[in-house]
């Protein structure tokens, strides 16, 4: 009979994200193991390599992001409020500007690796698909919005750009910046520019 795994993958992936936020792309498996309170060997057993671990982190992040988007949209009762809530939370985990910069450093490394870049493409496609559904649900409140696929792509570009800009020029809180920029677009699509 196989022994049960007491060290969850969730714990290992959360430790990886924490360490990346703290030190950036130069992190070591030893640092992640220390954060998780496990032996370094567990990573090679479960993921094979640092790249395998990063692939697992990427897949996990995609699932978590889409799940959080749905949860935030439901709590806000759908419509434009749900769409807005889902958008604002997409980068809720970035933390402070230094943590955000470290994650962006890792993003640069990921873009340079073909397998990780493909997973990033899957991530953004999944987020865009979820946004498209939320835009369609909010369509009665957004009479001036473009077609749902283009609207979703535009909104994703807004939050991605805002997060990048904020990590370089961190004025105020990220959530506040996201709210302002998302509201600027949604207000225009509602026909309420300048409000």
Q: What is the pLDDT of residues 27-39, one digit of tens each?
A: 999 999 999 999 9
CB 188 within 8 A of CB 161: no
Cα-based distances in Å from 159 to 16, 74, 86, 155: 24, 20, 11, 6
173 contact partners, CB below 8 Å, separation of at least 6: none
Q: Report the predicted TM-score, pTM, of the whole model to 2 decimal places.
A: 0.89
What's the pLDDT at 97? 87
Instruction: Report the C-alpha gap between 68 and 60 in whole angstroms.
Output: 12
Q: What is the pLDDT of residues 112-147, one digit of tens each?
A: 999 999 999 999 999 999 999 999 999 999 999 999
Instruction: Report the C-alpha gap between 127 and 36 in whole angstroms.
Output: 28
What residue ranges of the chain have pLDDT lower than 50?
Answer: 1-4, 195
């Amino acid at each position: 009979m196989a022994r049960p795994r007491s060290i969850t993958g969730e714990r290992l992936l959360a430790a990886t994200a924490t360490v990346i936020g703290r030190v950036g792309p130069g992190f070591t498996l030893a640092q992640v193991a220390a954060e998780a309170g496990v032996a370094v060997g567990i990573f090679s057993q479960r993921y094979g390599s640092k790249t395998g671990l990063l692939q697992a982190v990427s897949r996990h992040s995609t699932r978590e992001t889409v799940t959080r988007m749905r949860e935030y949209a439901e709590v806000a009762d759908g419509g434009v409020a749900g769409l807005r809530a889902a958008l604002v939370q997409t980068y809720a985990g970035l933390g402070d500007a230094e943590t955000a910069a470290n994650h962006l450093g890792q993003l640069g490394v990921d873009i340079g690796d073909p397998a990780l870049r493909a997973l990033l493409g899957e991530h953004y496609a999944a987020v865009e698909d979820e946004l498209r559904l939320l835009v369609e649900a909010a369509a009665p409140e957004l009479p001036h919005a473009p077609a749902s696929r283009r609207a979703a792509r535009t909104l994703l570009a807004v939050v991605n750009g805002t997060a990048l800009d904020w990590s370089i020029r961190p004025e105020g809180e990220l959530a506040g910046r996201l709210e302002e920029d998302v509201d600027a677009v949604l207000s225009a699509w509602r026909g309420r520019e300048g409000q």
